[in-house]
Amino acid sequence: MAKDLGCEVVLVRHAHSTANLKGILAGRDNRVSLSPRGKEEAQQLAEYLSSIEFDAVFSSPLRRCLDTLAPYLSQSKKKVQIREELIEMEYGRWSGKPLSVLAKEDMWKTIQSRPSTVRFPGGESFGEMSLRANQSVLDEAKGHRRILVLSHGDVIKAIAAFHLGSPLDSFQRISIDPASVSIIRLPGSHVITLNSTSHLTRAKRTSTGKRDKFHLGGGQGKL
């Protein structure tokens, strides 16, 4: 019997969105689409992904993830499998509000320092999000050599923190930029690549080069 060599999980955050452009916490708003920069990133991401052989493709059901995948799927003829567990964090009543306004809320400091203790008003906790996202990745990796997973900034940060052996309260130290690629090999939780954007060229240069100071939603907000 052939030895099981495990699975390589390629995690991709959706490309730059209209909410990123406006500095808004999008949450699960399915009206959010890709910004002009994001559309260019999606094309460049497709070129990169087309050079890799995937056994399966999984995605959050939200439009900005599916729009990011569209150029790659049209080239590869792969079928995407929707997984609700990969959906964006439920930010509850914080959803749709400017990050600059939310940063003034008392809970903001706790989100940065002790996110494991936070439940968003009318939403979910970071612990709940981390549990369902990480379980989904572990389940989908079974029986595959390499899978592609499209999700969101905070979700991928939680997945990366888990496999780095880092407590959830430290996950804000991780940045996951739009259209970035992170790679984890299972079993063993070997983090091979984290937040790589080397496949982005012109689209990357159109940004200001300034990093977003609002560490919620993955980073790289209003640029």
β-partners of residue 181 are 12, 196
pLDDT of residue 208: 40
Tokens 């060599």 found at: 5
Token pair listed for 18: 């209209």
pLDDT of residue 9: 98
Which parts of the chain register pLDDT below 50?
Answer: 1-2, 203, 205-211, 220-223
**pTM value surpassing 0.85:** yes
pLDDT of residue 210: 46
pLDDT of residue 5: 73
Q: If you compute the radius of gyration of the chain from its CA atoms, what whole number of angstroms results?
A: 16
Q: Measure the CA–CA gap between 161 and 130, rounded to whole angstroms.
A: 9
β-partners of residue 196 are 181
pLDDT of residue 219: 57
pLDDT of residue 223: 36
Q: Which sequence spans correspond to the domains of the chain? A: 7-205
CB 178 within 8 A of CB 15: yes
pLDDT of residue 175: 95
Topology of domain 7-205, CATH: Rossmann fold (3.40.50)
